[in-house]
Amino acid sequence: MAFRSSLLVLAALCLLVPSAQGQHRKKPAVRPAPPSGPVTLTPAVVEAGSPELLRIQAPATAHLEGGWLGHKLAFFRGNSAWYALAGVDVEAPLGPSTLKISYGQGEDRHDLSQTIPIRAAHYTTGSLTVSPKFVEPGPDEKALIEAASKAKEKAFAASDARTPNIPLWSGSFLAPVKAQATASFGTRRIFNGKLASIHKGTDFRAATGTPVLAGNSGVVLLAQPLYYEGNCVMIDHGQGLISYSMHLSRIDVKPGQQIVKGQLIGLSGATGRVTGPHLHWAIRWQGAMLDPVKLLKMNLPSKP
């Protein structure tokens, strides 16, 4: 009787102890997250005024074509993928947009197009007081404004004439001055009580004489005084990307000059339509004005 009871207790204990097979059973495999699509945008949330880096997974031998918001995309190879730098103008209409990208390899053609929503960036409104001649210019001032417009048109035409698919920039952009950037891009500017313009650049709190550097490598398009911009330097960074440095007290470069990232191009000042010394830095991509602060935050690939 005691022997039978011992057997029953032993059988019960065996049921409670897990088997060696159960102890060494493999855990369920963790499935990797699904890969992202062949086209990714950075920043992922696209807002009016936002620069965008497009990354496309396609064979190195592929021939890519694309367009977005009426602009032709220029692609280049780097870091085992294709890239294109683009952007959305600060005044672009909100809502869905069509990003068209396709590539061919041999006789095959692959369509990677997708719909990209453009969201509002919620810019503010600010009031400034300047000399009346900058709000209601007379005949002499209008002649200067016309001359400045022609000089800028000539610079833009020179940029458009360059091979569009070759980036002159390499890697991420640097801030043009060692000074604080203000949240001024996109601000609706009221000059002397009248809504005159949208602020299409970023102001840096730079005292007169602060060294102004090239944000990236490129070629000088323009280096001269302009009516509203004051002493101004424009640098062509390739692929339709241009940076402006305005209100300089001194210009240290000439049109056509090759520029490297971080090179001195002038000194900050208070020339043109200003209320005090500062640097106005603007970014233009194929006519679209983009937020410079967002560009500075982007991790851009180096040239292959």
Summarize pLDDT for 218-262 with one digit per residue, the tens. 999 999 999 989 999 999 999 999 999 999 999 999 999 999 999
- DSSP 8-state assignment for residue 269: B
pTM: 0.80
Strand pairing class (125-128; 188-191): parallel
Q: Same domain, yes or no, for 110 and 248?
A: no
Instruction: Please report whether residue 19 resides in a domain.
Output: no
Same domain membership, residue 154 and residue 57: no
Residue 44, domain CATH:
2.60.40.10
> What is the share, in percent, of the chain residues with pLDDT greater than 90?
61
Cβ 177 vs Cβ 208: under 8 Å: no
* Mean pLDDT confidence for 112-139: 76
Tell me the two tokens of residue 277: 């010394």
Domain co-membership, 98 together with 208: no
CB burial class (10 A; 0-12, 13-18, 19+) of residue 117?
exposed
Between 285 and 188, where is the model more confident? 285
pLDDT at 198 over 60: yes
Average of pLDDT values for 86-107?
93
Q: Are residues 218 and 70 in the same domain?
A: no
- Same domain membership, residue 215 and residue 282: yes
pLDDT tens-digit series, residues 106-123: 788 899 999 999 998 876
Kindly state whether residues 217 and 151 are assigned to the same domain.
yes
- What Rg value do the Cα atoms of the chain yield, rounded? 29
Q: Which tokens belong to 47?
A: 């807002």
Q: What pLDDT band is residue 2 in, cutting at 50, 70 and 90?
A: very low
Q: Which of 190 and 195 is assigned the larger pLDDT?
A: 190
Tell me which residue has tokens 């683009």: 86
- 148 and 243 in one domain? yes
Q: How confident is the model at residue 12, as a pLDDT? A: 41
What is the total count of domains within the chain?
A: 2
